[in-house]
Chain A
């Protein structure tokens, strides 16, 4: 736990260890550890929102009506909220962020906020309402642009890597195995729903080194799969110049994916102390995905993963049979709030598992978690469709860019851009999630200062700046 020790020393040097921490003016932007390990990004998404009365923590030292942060190290277990309680043991490895808003969605046209979130959550860009999906639940627009993870993956992946993994799926009311990740044209990317298939993708040759002597005929044919891809990619090259701009872009992207697969098939990862290709077995599906994620990072097969956790069933969180969406998430009564708190408690337990798996892999004098930025972001802020004052968790050291172990509050004192569905009726709000996205890009070593929309107009006419990283991370 070198990272944690470094942080303690850092806080002590500031004279702040254990005391209330007011950080907006402090600059933490420095690289500390892990010069020889790449930084990774993992974004976990879950469905619906979290009842505020069951997750927020009113900790001593947190200012009312202003931004502020306090360390979690000295917080007793019984001070943790019902939802966040399962994170007590790993509290020094994460930061709880209170009060962010899905700003681009609030600046866009109104719709059913589930669908609005699908198009906005990871794109932070205006959606396409021209020809929306009509369902019983109302209007669901399309995303127009690529999601944060895809943008980062495109910048940081190197030849031979899987640029990004999308795991989990489901969750979106029967709309198939997709999550929130979108391709450059805004199309939702398919998610891998089977840990076994995901393992086979990561280790197409089973992870074992191939036999050195006298390969069989089938092995020779299998080894030629790369030549087949090369031939196919060549056909793409032949065809692309004959097409118009848009069509050729599509085929160029396809060709690039074929080339990337060709390189991956041609280079089996070298097993190291941290990279031991073993298909995860036992545990539930999400836990298997978490372990696979740690493995994929440890073997340097990818640097960007999104995990979409399916909507839970009532039995998963101890509720009587019912429609989770209609009866619990949208229920506006104390009983439904308690059920959704228990619902989200399951997710915080899962998040603790995920952090544990990443922290169990030794790397570059620390652990894999030190070199990873883990973001957990929810579809909506609350069950009844709010998009502001949400719960966000950030874990890991982000390669030295992050300083976990705190509860950060962003005051709801900024002008709101919207008065419609799920927008707190025009009440003041906190900063946009876009700042967190900038922090993620910078943790990944990118120079970007904005992602998606850069500004918008609040109801009072003032400008909303959506650029720059999130303070206090």
Chain B
């Protein structure tokens, strides 16, 4: 059983990666596609990825400019077009045919049908006669890159309830690489070597070792854990002397490096994601984290008493903060939503959502006390007992994510109580909180469901229960190793399910 299998347009990131891989890594200065709409954090929602005019126009520009650049670059041209320019018409026909068998099949991620081949050959002959053969090939490249076979993940099925081997190869490559299949995967599809779980598992393991998997693994976490949010959050000028574009960029880059280092180079587990003290810092970030100076990006261990896993990195902490202080509410809601997969109701009509601040003329007061006062009314507590119970755990970190022991001259109280989960109870500070979350089955299952949603490009449906159970069990059995989860998904019968 599997829920719906909607037609999926390549997302902006997938399109960009695919163009790059299709053109053998040629560096392009083409325009960017418009940003994709986001659903539940993810940018690959099948139902939301349509083709509005702006998208179609930009993709036309990308295709035209990329095709021109590809033919103008001798090395790329040689791979696209296995013959010399200025050859005879007869040779050109042979050459055009070879172009469609090679480059054409890579663009469509399967061999062209006879009909498709015929219409491209006719186009090449017509334009070749009018301009020249090279121009015809350039325009054919642009056309291939605007065809539905390129732009969408077309899955017509094998007729037996499964997708074809080539369609399965694409499922695998877009799941693990956010890009098209490579030569080995295409060859395996051609030889019908993607038929058994063992064959699929071997491919998945190979692909997870490829650099493209790093980029995709990082990008999944970027979407799931909203890494880019920190880029949008302003801080009060002057209040955080080290805050500036360089530090913000470094803070953003750290989490990419952390995910790659922990999830692919490390043990790949959620536990490490939530508790590892490994970090990669540059000079700015080292100073921000209170570490000895470094030059260039350097792998370090963060202070054991201050930071562990992803929730103690400034990307999350400064991204979920106000201009002047950290926000226990934003931080708590994020953990509840993204790590515990629990919904929260909207604030009631009377909720004051502005940043609570010390009243003019009054004595020192901690950020925590301000939020406690604000959320004290009984009508707030229904949700805030849970939100604050997690959010207060991050009070050792200011609006920029810097570690502090004093807040407004008063000692920080970062104790909290988790409620409504399988790891309920009191704790003290973000490290203890992260440790608790790292051992939560709810968090593990929640991560599995995010991966599943990302895999399917849609909401999880009742009919997905088997696959969901499989994913949850794989993550549990693998000690939280996300790579085992991905291999389980890739080798499951549901993953190969085709249109009915």
Contacts and interface: CB of A to CB of B under 8 A. Distances in A.
Contacts of B37: 176, 178, 187-188
A136 B333 contact: yes
A228 B143 contact: yes
A460 interface: no
A294 interface: no
A54 interface: no
Interface stretch (B216-224, B271-279, B342-350): B342-350
Interface residues of B, number: 75
Given A217-B135, A235-B116, A257-B52, A176 B35 contact: yes
Contact of B148 (A178, A227, A254, A322): A254
Contacts of A318: none
B426 interface: no
Given A229-B146, A235-B116, A183 B346 contact: no
Interface in A182-206: 183, 185, 187-192, 197, 201
A131 interface: yes
Contact of A326 (B64, B151, B353): B353
Contacts of A414: none
Nearest to B232: A174
Contacts of B142: 225, 228
Contacts of A135: 333
- Among A111, A187, A244, A261, max chain B CB count under 10 A is at A187
Contact of A254 (B48, B51, B127): B51
Contacts of B146: 228-229, 232, 258
A133 B39 contact: yes
Interface in A93-152: 110-112, 130-131, 133-139, 142
Nearest to B136: A224
A7 interface: no
Contact of A321 (B47, B52, B236): B236
B86 interface: no
Interface string B36-72: 0111100000011111111111001001100010000
A211 interface: no
Nearest to A190: B34
Majority secondary structure, A binding face: mixed
Interface string A333-372: 0000000000000000000000000000000000000000
B149 A258 contact: no
B51 A227 contact: no
A223 to B, nearest CB: 9
A162 interface: yes
Interface string A396-429: 0000000000000000000000001111010000
B132 interface: yes
A163 B323 CA distance: 41
Contacts of A188: 37
Contact of B119 (A234, A323, A420, A423): A234
B54 to A, nearest CB: 5
Contacts of B347: 112, 138, 421
B415 to A, nearest CB: 22
B320 A177 contact: no
Contacts of B120: 231
A78 interface: no
Given A131-B40, A225-B64, A235 B354 contact: no
Given A326-B354, A331-B354, A138 B54 contact: no
B123 interface: yes
Contact of B54 (A110, A137, A166, A420): A166
A315 B334 CA distance: 30
Interface in B110-137: 115-116, 119-120, 123, 126-127, 130-132, 135
Given A131-B39, A257-B52, A221 B131 contact: yes
B130 A220 contact: yes
Contacts of B35: 176-178, 190
Nearest to B146: A232
B292 interface: no
A260 B53 CA distance: 9
B139 A187 contact: no
Contacts of B323: 321-323
A470 interface: no
Given A131-B40, A321-B236, A136 B327 contact: yes
Interface in B285-328: 320, 322-323, 327
B50 A253 contact: yes
B3 interface: no
Nearest to B157: A242
Interface in A227-255: 227-229, 231-232, 234-236, 238-239, 242-244, 246-247, 250-251, 253-254
B108 to A, nearest CB: 9
B329 interface: yes
A187 B39 CA distance: 10
Nearest to B35: A176
Contacts of B151: 254
17 contacts: A131-B40, A138-B345, A177-B34, A187-B50, A190-B34, A190-B52, A192-B54, A221-B139, A224-B127, A224-B139, A225-B64, A232-B146, A235-B143, A239-B149, A242-B156, A254-B151, A261-B57
Q: What 4 A-B pairs are tightest by C-beta distance, nearest first? A: A190-B34, A174-B232, A247-B7, A136-B330
Interface of A: 110-112, 130-131, 133-139, 142, 162-164, 166, 173-178, 183, 185, 187-192, 197, 201, 217, 220-221, 224-225, 227-229, 231-232, 234-236, 238-239, 242-244, 246-247, 250-251, 253-254, 257-258, 260-261, 321-323, 326-327, 330-332, 420-423, 425
Interface of B: 6-7, 9, 31, 34-35, 37-40, 47-57, 60, 63-64, 68, 115-116, 119-120, 123, 126-127, 130-132, 135, 138-139, 142-143, 146-149, 151-152, 154, 156, 229, 232, 234, 236-237, 320, 322-323, 327, 329-330, 333-334, 337, 343-349, 352-355, 459, 499
Given A330-B352, A421-B346, A423-B349, 10 more contacts: A137-B353, A139-B344, A173-B232, A191-B34, A197-B31, A250-B50, A254-B151, A258-B56, A330-B353, A421-B348
